[in-house]
Chain A
Amino acid sequence: MAVAQTKQSATEARLASLVAHEGGGWISSGRQAALERVRMMGLPDRRDEYWKYTRPDTLVQAEAPKAALFETTDPRVFDGIDRLKIVFTDGVFDADASDDLSLEGLNIERLADIAGKDIHWAKDLYGVLETNGQTPVERPLAALNTAFATDGVVIHVTGQVSKPVSLIYNHRSEVSDAMLHHLVKVDAGAKVTILENGPAAARFNKVMEVEIADGAEFHHVRAQGRDHERRAITHIFTRLGVESVFKSFTLTANGMMTRNECVIELTGDDAVAHVAGAAVGDGDFHHDDTVFITHDAVNCESRQVFKKVLRNGATGVFQGKILVKPDAQKTDGYQISQSLLLDEDSQFLAKPELEIYADDVACSHGSTSGAIDEEALFYLRARGVPKNIATDLLTLAFLAEAVLEIEDEALAEEISSRLEGWLVRHNG
């Protein structure tokens, strides 16, 4: 079907605002193909079913909407964690603020440094998982990223790594419009943890493609920061081999527009994929978790645990789908999305979906939204705990189920304390 005229002109307007990269190298053909995908699909507009609950306007429009900078001297998340730091400011690699990029067990390169080479292993991954992820549901903003992103990290994990690789995104310009494209290839039996934090830019479009080989493990903990006016569309595309593990957790606090898409393909038997998130928002906060998990192998396990705390008219969205292909017997799929609405102005929109073609599977899903448990609140108050502290305790307890999905205790503790800090600041 041809792209509607209005969509086509909106797409062309956006493309005109971007600079096409010349210069050849292995990446050229991938970029060119991605640009063709964008033109074929057209960028999303509000008539798209997949964007029913989240208006894509500000993510698509030619210029990034201005976003005020958030000034704070508070320590940043993960500050206390021993890690290898890689810093991007408004989407530009910041060598001075970054650590030396060498670490045993992996090899880190910048996309900008390798893009001009004739041959690189990244060619087999760049845009490949993104392309796979375009069916059965189109994700044009990811293709846009593949076509135009100039930087990002390209990580090849070959063994055991002693500390997490931490991607830190600074936001210093009120009008920055940044794109980053990361590649992570985890070899058989290797294991890595990637951290991400920071608001990145006024508008941020990020894609991370993760190839996880047999018996490999990829752990990911992300904190989307406190700047409120920022807008972000992020995609993770991952493909899992036999007995491999993918675990991703995202904390989102504030943000006028955040959509995190996670597209997971379980292609090796006995693989495990967990994706979880805790989001807390106040006022004109809009947060969307969109997950698509395809089971295409035997005896795999997938788990989605998403919790949102919404107040003062905030909006939360969850679209989560589990697709079980005919041969994916013994699939174990679990999905829960819940929101705690702290007032009547806030809303949670959920669209849980299961599509199952195998007959020997166990899949369950649940979605709830509700207010603070009045019985529990009274019980705490009757023991002398003031109402605001009691509310925080119950709210944290609600979020804890998602935070528990983080395997590493120190990281879980760090996330928990950030959530607590947010609640204390936004109390009353």
Chain B
Amino acid sequence: MLEIKDLKVKLEDEDKQILKGVNLTVEAGKVHAIMGPNGSGKSTLSYVLSGRDGYEVTDGSATLEGEDLLDMDPEERAALGMFLAFQYPVEIPGVGNMTFLRTAVNAQRKARGEDEMSASDFLKEIRAKAKTLKIDADMLKRPVNVGFSGGEKKRNEILQMAMLEPKMCILDETDSGLDVDAMKLVAEGVNALRSEGRGFLVITHYQRLLDHIKPDVVHIMANGRIVKTGGPELALEVENNGYADILAEVA
């Protein structure tokens, strides 16, 4: 599904190398987790894959189902099936949540040469999906993320994921700022989307999210590289011993 080879990335404006050769393959139907200390490059990886400005790829490649992602605009990547659940979802005053989602769904369909979704089909679907995420009608009508609590913003991200039905989902610290109940709700939303054809990359600091979204593979990222890869037990090791031991071991 997602194949990243020797990806090297620096900041566009500064001479600062952030990713120093990342290798990672996420297979369809699998959930991979990336853990790592602050400043290891986890969020940068998610931004580079989704096409945010400000980064320069100096080497390596990233493909989604064989298609080169790095040359594409963010909207082209989205239409291809890439989705990033933001660590800090952006507030957009004046743009209704519903208008935003409908525009996004139909723009992606159009880009793929599919028919647009009718207003009534869209309404039916979004109502059903919002209900399972406990998002009420008022939240759907309000401007995108404006006045939403931390938990509401993250649930809104998952709702977008559910509506857009991407192939590859990257969750960037989706657990940050969530209480236990909110985290459960978000995790249930994600688990409901797990399927044969869909890959997940879950970026997190903590094991606790992985109690709810069970990963198949866990990677430890440090200093711009993936330094260790293992099964779910690796996350437990981090939880119990911190990163120091692992980093010492690979150093």
Q: Which residues of A contact B (CB under 8 A)?
A: 373-376, 378-387, 389-390, 393-394, 396-398, 400-401
Residue in A376, A381, A398 whose beta carbon sits within 8 Å of that of B78 in the complex:
A381
Contact call B53/A389, Cβ cutoff below 8 A: no
Q: Is the interface of A mostly helix, strand, loop or mixed?
A: helix
Residue in B73, B83, B92 whose beta carbon sits within 8 Å of that of A379 in the complex:
B92
CA distance A383 to B95 in the complex (A): 14
Q: A378-B53, A378-B74 are in contact. Are A385 and B89 (CB under 8 A)?
A: no
Task: Given A382-B74, A384-B164, A385-B107, output 12 extra A-B contacts at Cβ < 8 Å.
Answer: A376-B92, A379-B90, A379-B92, A379-B144, A382-B50, A382-B51, A382-B75, A384-B79, A384-B108, A386-B73, A390-B75, A400-B94
Contact call A381/B74, Cβ cutoff below 8 A: yes
Contact with A along B84-95 (1 / 0, CB 8 A): 101001111111
CB distance from B136 to the nearest CB of A (A): 21
Contact call B94/A385, Cβ cutoff below 8 A: no
B residues less than 8 Å from A386 (CB atoms): 73, 75, 107, 111
B residues less than 8 Å from A383 (CB atoms): 78, 100-101, 104, 160, 164
Contact call A397/B92, Cβ cutoff below 8 A: yes
Q: A374-B53, A383-B160 are in contact. Are A389 and B94 (CB under 8 A)?
A: no
Within 8 A of A (CB), among B92-106: 92-95, 99-101, 103-105
Contact call A385/B51, Cβ cutoff below 8 A: no
Contact call A396/B104, Cβ cutoff below 8 A: no
- B127 at the binding interface (Cβ < 8 Å): no
Contact call B107/A384, Cβ cutoff below 8 A: yes
CA distance A397 to B143 in the complex (A): 10
26 intermolecular pairs with C-beta atoms under 8 Å apart? A373-B92, A374-B53, A376-B90, A376-B92, A379-B89, A379-B92, A379-B144, A380-B100, A381-B51, A382-B86, A383-B100, A383-B160, A384-B75, A384-B79, A384-B105, A384-B107, A384-B111, A385-B75, A385-B100, A386-B111, A387-B75, A393-B95, A393-B103, A396-B94, A397-B93, A401-B94
- B134 at the binding interface (Cβ < 8 Å): no
CB distance from A394 to the nearest CB of B (A): 7
Contact call A378/B95, Cβ cutoff below 8 A: no
Of all A-B residue pairs in the complex, the 9 with the closest CB atoms, nearest first, are A397-B94, A384-B78, A381-B74, A384-B108, A383-B104, A379-B90, A400-B94, A381-B75, A397-B95
CA distance A106 to B52 in the complex (A): 59
Residue in B79, B89, B95, B108 whose beta carbon sits within 8 Å of that of A394 in the complex:
B95
B residues less than 8 Å from A374 (CB atoms): 53
Within 8 A of A (CB), among B53-77: 53, 73-75, 77
A residues less than 8 Å from B51 (CB atoms): 381-382
Can you name the residue of chain A whose Cβ is closest to the Cβ of B105? A384
B residues less than 8 Å from A381 (CB atoms): 51, 73-75, 78
Within 8 A of A (CB), among B109-148: 111, 143-144
Residue in A375, A380, A382 whose beta carbon sits within 8 Å of that of B84 in the complex:
A382
CA distance A327 to B108 in the complex (A): 60
Contact call B103/A379, Cβ cutoff below 8 A: no
A residues less than 8 Å from B143 (CB atoms): 397
A residues less than 8 Å from B144 (CB atoms): 379
B residues less than 8 Å from A393 (CB atoms): 95, 99-100, 103
Contact call A380/B89, Cβ cutoff below 8 A: no
CA distance A151 to B197 in the complex (A): 73
CB distance from B129 to the nearest CB of A (A): 15
Contact call A379/B86, Cβ cutoff below 8 A: yes
CA distance A382 to B90 in the complex (A): 11
A residues less than 8 Å from B100 (CB atoms): 380, 383, 385, 393
B residues less than 8 Å from A385 (CB atoms): 75, 100, 103-104, 107
Most interface-central of A375, A384, A386, A396 (chain B CB within 10 A) = A384
Within 8 A of A (CB), among B173-228: none
CA distance A375 to B78 in the complex (A): 16
A residues less than 8 Å from B77 (CB atoms): 382
CA distance A381 to B82 in the complex (A): 11
Most interface-central of A382, A383, A401 (chain B CB within 10 A) = A383
B residues less than 8 Å from A375 (CB atoms): 90
A residues less than 8 Å from B160 (CB atoms): 383
Can you name the residue of chain A whose Cβ is closest to the Cβ of B94? A397
Can you name the residue of chain B whose Cβ is closest to the Cβ of A381? B74
A residues less than 8 Å from B90 (CB atoms): 375-376, 378-379
Most interface-central of B78, B79, B86, B92 (chain A CB within 10 A) = B92
B residues less than 8 Å from A378 (CB atoms): 52-53, 74, 90
